Chain A
Amino acid sequence: MRVVAAMSGGVDSAVAASRMLEAGHEVVGVHLALSQSAATLRESARGCCTIEDAGDARRVADRLGIPFYVWDMAERFKQDVVEDFVAEYAAGRTPNPCLRCNEKIKFSALLDKALALGFDAVATGHYAQIHEAADPAAPHGIRRELHRAVDMAKDQSYVLGVLDAEQLERAFFPLGDTTKPDIRAEAAERGFSVAKKPDSHDICFIADGDTRGWLAGRLGEQKGEIVDTEGTVLGEHGGSFGYTVGQRRGLGLKVPAADGAKRYVVETRPESNQVVVGTAELLGFDEITGDHARWCGPAPEGIVSVGAQVRAHGEEIPATAWADGDNVEVRLERRIRGVAPGQSVVLYDGTRVVGSATIAATGTSTRR
């Protein structure tokens, strides 16, 4: 196959590209330029798309002897990921931009361009696996399924839970069967200078990791009230967008709770610019209503047993799910805490990713 290897300049995508090449594919390395003003040098372990990253990716491609290009997707990234991120926060939700990027950029804008240019697929350095399962109903009798990586500490199937069957048909994740330390060892063995490069983490377009400050720079400071569930004003804040359900730190409340209990953000109300705080108990829920459902294969029919995961490296909770068009109702077997609307719930069947949805609302069932 002719494959585009998306190369960020990090160690994972470097090994992914070399594995694709060794598997006999024709590989072209592509670095996505996602920032409109690329910083010249990496300032910390965070971030991506610096000139240094592009250079690192190019060095690996040169070593592999494969062509290498930089594709400018900054405008698409800005529209589909960054502006969406800001709009979601402004609306009181907490989005995960990595899922959005995989859905809209890596396996949409990049994949579509690659296909149009005559490529067959895109390979990335995500830790996840694709299994091929016999399925008489599938186009070639084979269905590609998305599964967790063997290295659970690095598993990135959560951020890929937005890929549909068509996207999975064209995706390769060559690292899913290996642990991260082994990938680093392999990179060193291959003589890649990026073998010891630190992992990137957090949100790539917020270089210093200060999400609240970054949002304030875009949305402006909006002074508002911090209230308890009775409506009593306890303090003030610089914009409800800077607060996430479940958050405890950085509230700056001057009046302690009467009973001394710790207080958490339990709700943000963008329309009145209020942040509501309450006890940990109020954070508990066991029902999720999700929208923007994405299925990594056929949509489940009826009520199905699944494992539900609500954050990138969170725990998987046994649950039942019922898919209804764009919506999903998930009922967890036990209560969990502190999940904000806008986060994604990814559903698993064993190691297989069933699909995902964006959390629109949470609630508690009457049963305990």
Chain B
Amino acid sequence: MIGGVSDAPAYLDHAATTSALPEVIEAVVEQMGRLGNASSLHGSGRDARRVVEESRESIASDLGVRPSEVIFTSGGTESDNMAVKGTWFHHFENGTGRDLLIVSSIEHHAVLDPVEHLVLEHEAEVAWLEPDGLGRITSQALAAALDEHADRAALVSVMWANNEVGTVQPVAELASLARKHGVPFHTDAVQALGQLPLTLGDVGADLVSLSGHKIGGPMGVGVLVAGRDQSPVPLTHGGGQERQLRSGTLDTPAIAGLAVAVRMAVAEQELSAKTMVGLRDRLIQGALDLDPTIEVSGPWEPGDGTRRLPANAHLRVPGCDGDSLLYLLDAAGVQCSTGSACQAGVPQPSHVLLAMGVEETDARGSLRLTLGRTSTDADVDALLAALPGAIDRARRARGATGRS
């Protein structure tokens, strides 16, 4: 079994990354074959610039924002860092007295770690927003934090949808609350793009992080949508290519590919969400039928694709270690994730589950199964076929290592 029985493993880890769209590959290859630095003033440079700007306009139109608000970055992590650190440093350097961040405790590490860095190295203060048992950050929680800290707050940051448990946050409500208190609102929408309608113009967020490779675009490219009144301090200095906020020669092929990916993600969102919800519900219901002790993390209602990401299933299997399940499923040709942060590959219980009030022992037995454009019923079948044996063995393995 080891080394792969099946020729084509069932890939259920699309939230980690998903396959590039053929149209994206075509666009990238086409641009890679062309010469030109978008900052050069001659003909080749103008050609490249045109590709970049048309991509920018295309993305802006798909997201309902202005082209000048689209800043190309190297991906979600850089966008998050720019939003959090850039905004905090803007206030720090201008001595505005706004030295506090209001941040949800279930953010991706690309937000959490910059926040912790600011706390440790620059004495920033942070007010953490804790989720409820379903992983939701309520507007009451934000309202309470704003009532206490609004005059000192530099930024509110709450992700659009959680990457582990799939909970969708009420971002429009949260953004409007922040706006009412005069505090800029950042949201990491990396997982939401393509799965939820992302009408940024209506939502009213000031800063939005997006990534290319989660929607079939290239790796290493993303966007920070930054309102024109936002001026985060740049983190890298150089040519100032992107609104003086971000330096570095523009990656024309990746940007062209990203524009194609965003266009398709937005155009196909509604249809895709419907398909994903169907597969997701079959997966979750199938798992619960196999073992009724399994718990679903986050909100789940069959047919609903608004409170939980359509393509996300997150299961907690009592008595199992996620890493055992991961190995056993991998050996059976099913690729998924424990959904936990892996430093040096060392499995740690997920900070998201712990924040939701899940016991540490239960948090270790988690599986994140995420669907994508290429997912089929056969992938779900493969998982459901492999799951009972994997659970059985994983339970014995935990018994053997003496963890209760």
Contacts and interface: CB of A to CB of B under 8 A. Distances in A.
Q: Do A and B come from one complex?
A: yes
Interface in A52-79: 54-55, 58, 65-67, 69-76
Interface in B1-47: 1-3
Given A2-B2, A26-B3, A67-B330, A116 B346 contact: no
Contact of B344 (A54, A76, A109, A115): A54
Contacts of B276: none
Nearest to A112: B400
Contacts of B397: 112-113, 116-117
Contact of B402 (A65, A76, A117): A76
Contact of A67 (B327, B345, B399): B327
A112 B401 CA distance: 7
A71 B344 contact: no
A33 B342 CA distance: 12
A28 interface: yes
Interface residues of B, number: 26
A116 B400 contact: yes
Interface in A139-167: none
Contacts of B401: 73, 76, 109, 112-113
Contact of B2 (A26, A51, A73, A112): A26
Interface string B323-343: 110111011000000000011
A118 interface: yes
A70 B402 contact: no
A33 B399 contact: no
5 contacts: A38-B346, A76-B401, A117-B328, A117-B394, A118-B393
Contacts of A55: 344
B396 interface: yes
Interface string B266-298: 000000000000000000000000000000000
Contacts of B2: 2, 26-28, 66-67
Contacts of A69: 323, 326-327, 345
B324 A117 contact: yes
Contacts of B3: 26, 65-67
A49 to B, nearest CB: 9
A31 interface: yes
Given A54-B344, A76-B402, A118-B393, 8 more contacts: A27-B2, A66-B2, A69-B327, A70-B342, A71-B323, A109-B401, A113-B401, A117-B396
B347 interface: yes
B345 A28 contact: no
Interface of A: 2, 26-28, 31, 33, 38, 50-51, 54-55, 58, 65-67, 69-76, 109, 112-113, 115-118
Contacts of B400: 109, 112-113, 115-116
Interface of B: 1-3, 323-324, 326-328, 330-331, 342-348, 393-394, 396-397, 399-403
**Residue from B342, B343, B344 whose CB has the most chain A CB atoms within 10 Å:** B344
Contacts of A118: 328, 393
A116 B399 contact: yes
Nearest to A53: B344
Nearest to A117: B397
Contacts of A28: 2, 327, 331
Contacts of A117: 324, 327-328, 393-394, 396-397
Contacts of B399: 116
A72 B327 contact: no
A255 to B, nearest CB: 50
Contacts of A109: 400-402
A51 B343 contact: yes
Contact of B345 (A31, A50, A73, A115): A31
A142 B272 CA distance: 61
Contacts of B403: 75
A70 B344 contact: yes
B402 A72 contact: no
Contacts of B402: 76, 109
Contacts of A58: 345
Most chain A Cβ neighbours within 10 Å, of B326, B346, B393, B400: B346
A75 to B, nearest CB: 8
A75 B321 CA distance: 14
A38 B344 contact: yes
A122 to B, nearest CB: 13
B177 to A, nearest CB: 38
A58 B344 CA distance: 10
A58 B342 CA distance: 14
Nearest to A115: B400
A55 B344 CA distance: 7
B21 to A, nearest CB: 28
A2 B394 CA distance: 16
What are the 6 closest A-B residue pairs judged by CB atoms, nearest first?
A112-B400, A70-B345, A116-B397, A51-B344, A116-B396, A116-B400
| Max count, chain A CB within 10 A of own CB: residue among B1, B324, B326, B397 | B397
Contacts of B393: 116-118
B361 to A, nearest CB: 11
A33 B324 contact: no
B323 A72 contact: yes
A54 B347 CA distance: 13
B342 to A, nearest CB: 8
A33 B344 contact: yes
B317 to A, nearest CB: 15
